[in-house]
Amino acid sequence: MPVPAEPPRYPYLHVDVPEPEADEAGARLFELGAQGLEQRDATTLARGEAGLVTLVASFGTHEEARGAAAEVPETWRPRLEEVVGDAWRDEWKKHFEPFRVCSGVVVRPPWREAPAGDAPVVVLEPGRAFGTGLHETTSLVAEVLAEMPLAGTTVLDVGCGSGILALVALALGASRARAIDLDPDAVAVTRENAARNHVSDRVMADDAGVESVEGTFPLVLANIEAKTLVALAPALRARVAPGGRLVLSGILAQDVAPSQVADVRQAFAAMHEIDLRRKGEWIALTMGT
């Protein structure tokens, strides 16, 4: 009689870091071999401790996870955990219900019906990519989009994740979207979501770097961490058409990370600031040419 196969075991390293250090801590975990990273804070369903961000890093082997735990500061309170079996992959779906991402658009997962109403609906399966729309950085951009005249506009979504912002822009009247992300999984998920919403012919998704994108766009979206926004500033500015707008998100507020807003403003000083809005600890800036 065959012996039942052992269920797979997935190693994870959990660390707790202050909010302003989360980006650098995440980068360090990737340097140590992390294959993926989940951030738990006050805005997520699984929350970290008050004032702290819990980073959950996945590793290919238990040896790699133990090696990373030995390399991070003890003040991060590193602890190793593992998940047995594959049921965890769908556990999060229990918490993903239809919701209004902005005043004009409802987002629903494929396994739920949309609430009654006449608002446009975006069907979204985040899959392997970041971006359900529940995070404040994403909803900030969606709220900015809801206040823009988008009819006939072509949008460039930089760091598209699940493609949610490109799809919201189309639902609000944009004609086409170019969605780019360096993560091949994000590109695949964006294409899948475009197909779910019957807009594959209006969404071009690929893994091009913003520096290699040709042409300019009347609207560019970049929901990325502040350090990356600063590093990409010349390329992002170059993609905005004359008279166009650039919406930047993923920036921590001044009282959380004092330098981030100032650093982003300095990097985009060649543009003029149109709008700044805040939700929770996060800021979105709208810049114009």
Rg from Cα positions in the chain? 20
pLDDT digit string, tens, across residues 91-136: 556 667 788 889 889 999 888 887 777 788 999 987 655 666 678 8
Q: How confident is the model at residue 42 (pLDDT cuts 50, 70, 90)?
A: low
Tell me the C-alpha distance between 183 and 87, whole Å: 24
| pLDDT tens, position by position, 138-196 | 999 999 999 999 999 999 999 999 999 999 999 999 999 999 999 888 899 999 999 99
CA distance 100 to 122: 10
Tens of pLDDT, residues 253-288 = 998 888 999 999 999 999 999 999 999 889 999 999
**Domains plus CATH for the chain?**
9-91 (3.30.70.120), 96-288 (3.40.50.150)
Give every CB contact of residue 191 below 8 A, 6+ residues apart in sequence.
163, 200, 203, 205
Q: 46 falls in which pLDDT band (50, 70, 90)? A: low
Q: What is the pLDDT of residue 116?
A: 76
